[in-house]
């Protein structure tokens, strides 16, 4: 995410211990200096609840990280984007650009996928040019 130069203005996470740990460690790794909001509403919540949580956020926040659980996050992603996203794996990162001016304007199919990071990609980063070169040598 650092390579994508993605920094949140706000991190919202479920109260579940694993989600809290993920949020805390992620915040540390990317140099997040804001307050992490631990929310009961993000634990085993329907996609409508996730949407309601986001619609209530201050418009001063441009980028919000939402850390929660499946299948709810995958369902919410599919609510937001045109494409059918099969499954967000544990520790997967899905960035969605929303075509809205205010968080209160979130609605069905208002976003598009910017990028998706698989958990195995966190093990290391290798520029595409090098990966391509190594793949040809095999």
In CATH, what number is assigned to the domain containing residue 54?
3.40.50.1240
Model pLDDT, residue 61: 97
Tracing tokens 């009961």 back to the chain, one arrives at 40
Q: Is residue 41 one of the residues assigned to a domain?
A: yes
CB contact set of 108 (below 8 Å; sequence gap of 6+): 79, 80
Q: Is residue 84 one of the residues assigned to a domain?
A: yes
Structure tokens given for 117: 């990071």
Q: Is residue 88 one of the residues assigned to a domain?
A: yes
Q: Is 78 helix (H, G, I), strand (E, B) or coil?
A: helix
Residue 50's Cβ-count burial label (10 Å; 0-12, 13-18, 19+) is buried
Q: Is residue 5 one of the residues assigned to a domain?
A: no
Total-model pTM = 0.83
Q: Is residue 73 one of the residues assigned to a domain?
A: yes
Q: Is residue 4 one of the residues assigned to a domain?
A: no
Range of the domain at 124: 10-137
Q: Is residue 1 one of the residues assigned to a domain?
A: no
Distances, alpha carbon 114 to alpha carbons 50, 77, 81, 98, in Å: 19, 12, 10, 10
Name the CA radius of gyration of the chain, rounded: 16
Number of structural domains in the chain: 1
Model pLDDT, residue 79: 96
Q: Is residue 51 one of the residues assigned to a domain?
A: yes
- pLDDT per residue of the chain (138 residues) written in tens, 0 to 9: 666 677 899 999 999 999 999 999 999 988 999 999 999 999 988 999 999 999 999 999 999 999 999 999 999 999 999 988 999 998 899 999 999 999 999 999 999 999 998 877 665 555 554 444 444 444
């Amino acid at each position: 995410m650092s390579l994508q130069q993605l920094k949140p203005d706000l991190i919202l996470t479920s109260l579940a211990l694993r989600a809290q740990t993920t949020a805390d460690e992620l915040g540390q790794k990317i140099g997040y200096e804001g307050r992490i909001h631990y929310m009961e509403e993000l634990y085993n919540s329907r996609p409508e609840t996730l949407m309601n949580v986001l619609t209530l956020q201050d418009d001063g926040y441009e980028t919000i990280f939402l850390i929660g659980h499946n299948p709810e996050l995958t369902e919410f992603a599919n609510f937001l984007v045109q494409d059918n996203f099969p499954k967000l794996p544990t520790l997967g990162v899905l960035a969605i650009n929303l075509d809205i001016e205010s968080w209160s304007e979130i609605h069905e199919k208002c976003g598009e996928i910017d990028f998706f990071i698989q958990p195995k990609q966190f093990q290391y980063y290798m520029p595409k040019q090098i990966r391509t070169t190594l793949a040809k040598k095999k």
